[in-house]
Amino acid sequence: MTKARDLANGGFGLVLIKPSSVVNGTDNGKGTVSFSGASTVSLNDVFSATYDTYKVIINWTSATAQNLGMRLRVSGADNSTAGNYMWGENGLTFSGGSSLNNNSSDTSWNMEYTDTNGAVMAMDIYDPFSSTKITRFNGLSTTRLSTAAASFYRGHGGNMTVTTSYTGFTIFVSSGTITGSVSVYGYNE
């Protein structure tokens, strides 16, 4: 559906995408999904042939320290095959500390670590629906660690090692639960 604001700028910009269904979350009717006390949240049918590039914005908090991961999915099932995901991240703190993590053969993308103060991440995903191109992503995230009284800013990137056409994704935590929201936008190019 073309909106008036899209027509005004020649059809360019970001378009909020409404998932066909959500697991462990609630769609606000427009496409932003909220979740509370969830260990996993899945969005189905947000990737299609309509767009090549997507922006995903995740904002979350947790009662305990967590690692957030992402798996791509199709037909309501996650791809959790070992070796299908490659990722790397580089972090920087206000106090000048840094960290570098990576995995060249994983079952998911590692997105962010957060303390009880929560975190926010904005990421771009390229060609997830394509069956001929490898899906890639890059993103930025920030969190404030209460124990170190420092903020982390991280750059993330990664890709898939298989050319599968994906229609959705699942975000999940290493243990415990998270509360927050997630939105998916298509780049109308």
Q: Tell me the CATH number at 38.
A: 2.60.120
Domain annotation covers residue 60: yes
pLDDT digits over 158-179, tens only? 999 999 999 999 999 888 899 9
pTM exceeding the 0.75 threshold for the entire prediction: yes
Structural domain including 163 reads 15-188
d(CA 146, CA 128) in angstroms, rounded, equals 35
Q: Which residues contact 3 (CB under 8 A, 6 or more apart)?
A: 15
Domain annotation covers residue 36: yes
Q: What are phi and psi of 82, to 5 degrees?
A: -60, 135
Taking a C-beta distance cutoff of 8 angstroms, is the pair 178, 66 a contact? yes
Domain annotation covers residue 54: yes
Domain annotation covers residue 101: yes
**Number of domains observed in the structure of the chain:** 1
Domain annotation covers residue 3: no
pLDDT for residue 163: 95
* Neighbour tally for 183: CB within 10 Å: 21
Domain annotation covers residue 73: yes
Owner of token pair 């320290």: 65
Domain annotation covers residue 9: no
Nearest to 81 by CA among 144, 161, 146, 139: 161
Strand, helix or coil for residue 95: coil
Domain annotation covers residue 71: yes
Weakly modelled stretches of the chain, pLDDT under 70: 1-11, 92-97, 112-115, 145-153
